[in-house]
Structure 1
Amino acid sequence: MERPEKQHFEWWHHSHPTFAGITGFFAGMLFVTALPGAFIGILRLLFSYETASSLFPLVLIALVLPITMLVKRKTRRFAQFMFIGMVVTALATLGVASLVLYFMAGT
């Protein structure tokens, strides 16, 4: 029985048309949720609370990455879905937070 020299994963179809969409969407979700949390966590480990909270807006510099990916033709589709994932996650988070505040404070 011959074994192929180059063994690749059958389930990992990176050339599939939906691969960029799915990975971009979930990358956008992680970008909105995990990146700010990790950033403030690292800042809080390195600096005092006041300094960390004043440096937190620097997390917006991370938006350079998806904007740069939008410019480059090869990564544009991925970046478009990444922005969709970012917007949907932000809207869902803000919607749930507003409903929780409404029900907790309003009634």
Structure 2
Amino acid sequence: METQEQQAQAVPQDRHFEWWHHSHPTFAGITGFFAGMLFVTALPGAFAGLLRLLFDHETSEQLFPFVVLALALPIAMLVKRKTRRFAQFMFVGMVVTALVVGGVASLVLYFMADA
């Protein structure tokens, strides 16, 4: 009879991350959605911070619209068949996040101006 220690050693190393199912149907959807959320919220802030560290204020303001070039990444992922599902959910995450942020900001401004 084998002990538990011997059984644990018999498990191959490639099975170590078996819980990380890349082929699971919801894996691309969940990771794509949250990547889209992060893309909309963190990328512009990080880009602005990096520009501010490297350039003066006026130059940073002039260069900030180039953050739109980052949209080339999800668009390129839509073209390739292997990443298309991820990119579709990434766009959904981007649109939903933009709508929520815009809606909350408009409500806050409405109530602040109304008071």
Partner of 1:43: 51
Gaps of 5+ in 2: 1-5
Give the structure-2-normalised TM-score: 0.89
Q: Distance in 2 between the 1:13 and 1:7 partners?
A: 11
Q: CA RMSD in A?
A: 1.0
- 2:114 equivalent to 1:106: yes
Unaligned runs of 5+ in 1: none
Q: Are 2:63 and 1:76 equivalent residues in the alignment? A: no
Q: Identity over aligned residues, as a percent?
A: 78
Give the number of equivalent residue pairs.
107
Q: In terms of Rg, which structure is larger?
A: 2
> Quick one: distance in 2 between partners of 1:8 and 1:80?
30
Per-residue deviation, 1:27: 0.2
TM-score normalised by length of structure 1:
0.95
Q: Deviations over 1:49-95 (max 9, x none)?
A: 11101100000000000000001111000000000000000000000
Matched residues in 2 for 1:50 and 1:77: separation?
Answer: 40
Q: CA deviation at 1:101?
A: 0.3
Alignment equivalent of 1:95, drawn from 103, 111, 114 = 103
Task: Please tell me the residue identity of whatever aligns with 1:82.
Answer: M
One-letter code aligned to 1:22: I
**Residue of 63, 72, 78 corresponding to 1:64:** 72
